[in-house]
Structure 1
Amino acid sequence: MIRILIISLLLLSGSYSFAQQRMLSKTGKIHFTSDAPLELIEASSNSLKGILEMPTRKFAFSVPIKSFQGFNSALQQQHFNENYMESDEFPKATFTGKIIEKVDFSQPGTYQVRAKGKLNIHGVEQSRIFKVKLKVDDTGIHFSSKLTIPLSDHNISIPQIVHQKIATEIDVDLKGTLLKPQQ
């Protein structure tokens, strides 16, 4: 416990200068679609949070699984959390890594980059590379990406009885804005 406090104090002592190089997103949006032969399931969350260290291009994002809303029914949302995502045991999905391409975040413009890192869903971590669109302007860094996530890659199994109602690959759209932390 003392080690954690010492590390935290060291990080906080250098946080002012480091904060100038860090961007945060507290209200990113993530939307998923399961388009199966017999049913279309969609849900969204406005709880995507993330951080980007501009000099190193390293990032970390997370979303609480229970924050997803918009299912076809309350029972469907319950099954999503209890039977498939097991959100009490695996409460968050995370993606940590680095932007591959060099980007001058001080220059306004639109950049197509690749984010390489570890995607952790349902307690299973997989290496991934995703294409990301970045738009840098005076308000921050706006990001968006479209992903396809195979459920089997994260040990999420679909019972035979509902295999026509749940897609084996889930389409995910995410977007948000990274802002400088307030001093």
Structure 2
Amino acid sequence: MKRLSIIFAAVSLLSFKVQPKIFTTNTGMINFRSEAPLELINAESKELKGAVDADKRTFAFRIRIRSFEGFNSPLQKEHFNENYMESVKIPEALFSGKIIEDVDLTIPGVYTIRAKGILNIHGVPRERIIKSDVEVKNGMIKIKSNFTVLLSDHNIPIPRVVKEKLANEIKVELTADLVRK
């Protein structure tokens, strides 16, 4: 009988799966801002999708380019999608990689982390380290980040005719609430 109990305990332990600590979002927000001498452009999307694996400290985020709204006119949005971002040909921007800090994102607290990975915009991948503020609370990970993107780094051309209306340096603000899957 004792031997049967030991076998049952061993089988129970082997069949016990450790659940991965994966947090996801489908409603993160990205706002970008171009501050050029002749024009200020703001656009926002609430369709940021992403996942963070707290065990491996890895992440992956993507945003559909056509999901951005705002702009100063419908024509400006059309030019953004067709002439600059070529969103039919390259429909998404991606950022994936690893969290540098050795932090347990399942323990409640406020952390400043650096996300190191490949930022792929307009089909041009660039290695980046992006600083983010993270709050872990009630089983949720809240991420806030502000960073810049140079259009020239991602081969996004600025035609001469709009050079004074479109900045090369774009300010990006990201917020996302990720819940455990």
Q: Please, what TM-score do these two structures have when normalized by structure 1? A: 0.88
Q: Which runs of 5+ in 1 are unaligned?
A: 1-15
Q: Where does residue 142 of structure 1 map in the other structure? A: 142
- The 3-state SS of whatever aligns with 2:101 is coil
- Which residue of structure 2 aligns with residue 6 of structure 1? none
Unaligned runs of 5+ in 2: 1-15
| Structure 1 SS opposite 2:152 | helix
CA contact (8 A) 1:99 1:113 kept: yes
Aligned equivalent of 1:45: 45
In 1: Cα distance, 2:17 partner to 2:30 partner: 31
Distance in 1 (alpha carbons) for counterparts of 2:19 and 2:178: 13
Contact 2:20–2:53 (8 Å) recurs in 1: no
> Structure 2 matches for 1:1-183, cutoff 5 A?
20-181=20-181
Superposed displacement of residue 180, structure 1: 1.0
- Amino acid in the other structure paired with 1:172: V
* Contact 1:20 1:180 survives alignment (8 Å): no
Asked which structure has the greater CA Rg, the reply is 2
Q: Is the 8 A contact 2:118 2:125 kept in 1?
A: yes
1:17 and 1:49 map into 2 onto residues whose CA distance is 27
Identity of aligned residues (%): 51
Query: 3-state DSSP class of the match of 2:88?
Result: coil
3-state SS of paired residue (2:81):
helix
Which portions of structure 1, spanning 4 or more consecutive aligned residues, are displaced by more than 4 angstroms? 16-19
Q: Write the deviation string for residues 82-140 of structure 1: whole angstroms up to 9, x where unpaired.
A: 00000000100000001000112232110001000000000000000010100000140
* Counterpart residue identity of residue 103, structure 2: V
Is the 1:19–1:180 Cα contact (8 Å) retained in structure 2? no
- Letter of the 1:151 partner, please give it: L
Over the aligned positions, Cα root-mean-square deviation in angstroms equals 1.3
Task: Give yes or no for contact 2:106–2:139 (8 Å, CA) kept in 1.
Answer: no
Equivalent pairs counted in the alignment come to 166
Question: Conserved in 2, the CA contact under 8 Å of 1:148 and 1:169?
Answer: yes
Distance 1:122 1:19, change over 3 A: farther
Change (3 A) 1:91 1:108: same
Q: Relative to structure 1, is the Cα distance of residues 18 and 158 closer, same or farther in structure 2, using a 3 angstrom cutoff?
A: farther
Give the TM-score, by structure 2 length: 0.89
